[in-house]
Homo-oligomer: A and B are copies of this chain.
Amino acid sequence: MSFPLDTLHRQWIYRQHPTGLVGAEHYVLQEQRLDTTLDRDEVLLAARYISVDPYMRINQSAKPTYNPEPHPLNTVQTAGAVAQVIASNTAGLRIGDWVFGMTGWQTHARVHVSALTKIDPAIAPVSTALGVLGMPGRTAWFGLTEAGKPHAGEIVVVSGAAGAVGSLVVQFAKRHGARVLGIAGGAAKCAWLTEVLGADWAIDYKAFDHADSLSAAIQNLTGGVDVYFDNVGGMATDAVMPLIKRRARIVICGQISQYSGGLDVPEMGPRLLHHMLYQRATIQGILARDYLHRMDEMLHIVAPWVKAGELVFEETVIEGFAQLPKALNSLFTGEHRGKLIVKI
């Protein structure tokens, strides 16, 4: 089956392994006439919102990560996208329907219906399928509840607190009755954390030269840490580790400070595992994919909060397919708040 659509199909091809920051130089833009052939139960999609996420840089590491092999060169950059059906050869999806799929950095995709999740635009803006109601939301929810296990009255410290996952963790932890300190870069993000997201305290790590002074500031505000939800690693972790309390839970969700080179050739930092012994604490690494089959559990709780307008799920939207590599780069350097997405 073929559809009479005369459209340009644009793809960002991952061409070169970055050794430091990832950026436009590691990609090449490829254009061709869109192939509109569809097999049975396939649909043709036009991407409307495409995701850039820190995990993409992990997949570009030279060494094995959570995937045995790095992202293959000379293929479309893997990514989640929110798309609309523009041609359908299946009963389940009609032209105009919204779906989420791992269709990558391309304007269009031909996909089997089994690889797609239908989005109900009545619940929330469709772009939330890339954020609060998608992978970052799932990561924040299950990382906090399954590994962090916060209790009312406890102290939760979140690094990368203004990011896609961190900004949700701050709010989820507050809903658990915890007192929450967010670590972020810059005064503007910190003001947003306390004034908009409801964090009890926020600390701008850029105002500190060394982990010791950062540590003293956190100690001063919190008196000690029960749960550390870590998106960043490096100096933030060096500062928090000596402050953990008895049976603290440390959740390793990301190590974004290390993604630009440090993963392949580890950066040096202070050895701090003796604190685990002192406090009989736990460090647990978590990954969104492990909770994919439990998405319904999370949506059952979080979607009503979104629908009722009780959660802040800020999106930083960059316009234009051409901006994707720069948008990915800006995850590691930029000033965005919440979920960074590219609108096509």
Interface residues of chain A, those whose CB is within 8 Å of chain B, are 58, 64-66, 230, 233-234, 237, 252-255, 258, 262-263, 266-287, 290
Given A233-B271, A267-B270, A268-B269, the answer on whether A285 and B290 have CB atoms closer than 8 Å is no
A-B contact pairs, 9 of them (CB 8 A): A66-B278, A253-B277, A262-B271, A269-B269, A269-B271, A273-B285, A277-B287, A278-B285, A282-B285
The 9 closest A-B pairs by CB, nearest first: A276-B285, A266-B270, A283-B283, A277-B285, A66-B278, A252-B276, A269-B271, A255-B274, A268-B268
A273 to chain B: closest residue by CB: B252
Task: Take A281-B285, A283-B282 as given contacts and tell me if A273 and B255 are in contact as well, using a CB distance cutoff of 8 Å.
Answer: yes
- The answer to whether A284 and B278 touch across the interface, beta carbons within 8 angstroms, is no
Q: Which residues of the other chain, B, contact A270 by a CB distance below 8 angstroms? A: 266-269
Bound Cα distance A190, B176 (Å) = 50
Copy number in this complex?
2
Residues of B within 8 A of A273 (CB): 230, 233, 237, 252, 255, 283, 285
Across the interface, name the chain B residue whose C-beta is closest to A250. B283
Say yes or no: A280 contacts B290, CB within 8 Å.
yes
